[in-house]
Structure formats: structure tokens, C-alpha cells
Amino acid sequence: GNSVTQMEGPVTLSEEAFLTINCTYTATGYPSLFWYVQYPGEGLQLLLKATKADDKGSNKGFEATYRKETTSFHLEKGSVQVSDSAVYFCALIQQIKAAGNKLTFGGGTRVLVKP
């Protein structure tokens, strides 16, 4: 079946540091890949997505590139802010005819940015 593996947290950084969160996946075919972010006390919000190999998703200074050869979708940001402190979830969606679209999440990575 499908699975998503992401690095365990917490990741603690200083403001303006470079952030990388690794994400690898297992799936048949060509899933779409997503990064969701969850701020404290809130629901998940879509951060960015990529729907085919070599696509780069970007939003709010975050980027991730769909690498089919390494089955990865690593999240990066060049200079983090305190407001980026959150839990980040990597996910994939694959359409299964009989069962519709199923979103598979990684375990989440907590990021804490200190001033």
C-alpha cells in the first residue's frame, strides 16, 4: 500500500536558519504530493503541492520538488521565522477507482523556531 515517511522532530532552529524536512514515499503509479502545515490549535492548511515528476511547489518561501527517481518530496525554506513554528505533514493522494481519492499522511514533523 501507499506510505509516507518523514523525519521525526522536533526540529529546533534559530530565526533565519535554513530548514529542510525530508519526506519519502511509497506508491504505485503517479501520486500527487502535498505539504500541509498545522499551526498550534488549528486545523491543517495546504502549504504546497506538486502533481507530477519534477514539478516544484512553492508558497510562503517554502519549496519542494517532486523527485520520482528518489521518491522524495523534501520541504525547504531558506530563512525561517518564528511564525513558521508548526507541525508539517507530507502527504500523497492517489486515485483508487473503487475507493476514490485517499490521502496518506506522514507522521508529521514539529518545527520550533527560536528568536
Burial of 50 per CB tally in 10 Å (0-12, 13-18, 19+): buried
72 alpha-carbon distance from chain centroid: 10
Residue 28 lies near another protein (rule: CB under 8 A) = no
Residue 95 lies near another protein (rule: CB under 8 A) = yes
Q: Which of 18, 46, 53, 56 binds another protein (CB under 8 A)?
A: 46
Choices 9-17, 69-77, 78-86, 95-103; region in contact with another protein by CB under 8 A: 95-103
Residue 77 lies near another protein (rule: CB under 8 A) = no
Residue 111 to residue 99: CA distance in whole angstroms: 34
**What minimum distance in Å lies between the beta carbon of 73 and another protein?**
14
Q: Which of 13, 49, 77, 88 binds another protein (CB under 8 A)?
A: 49
Residue 2 to residue 34: CA distance in whole angstroms: 14
**What minimum distance in Å lies between the beta carbon of 31 and another protein?**
9
Query: Which of the 8 DSSP states describes residue 83?
Result: G
Using an 8 Å Cβ cutoff, are 75 and 21 in contact? Answer: yes
CA 79-6-91 angle, 5° bins? 95
Compare residues 25 and 32 and give the one whose CB is closer to another protein: 32
The site for another protein (CB under 8 A) is made up of 32, 34, 36, 42-46, 49, 51, 89, 93, 95, 99-103, 105, 107-108
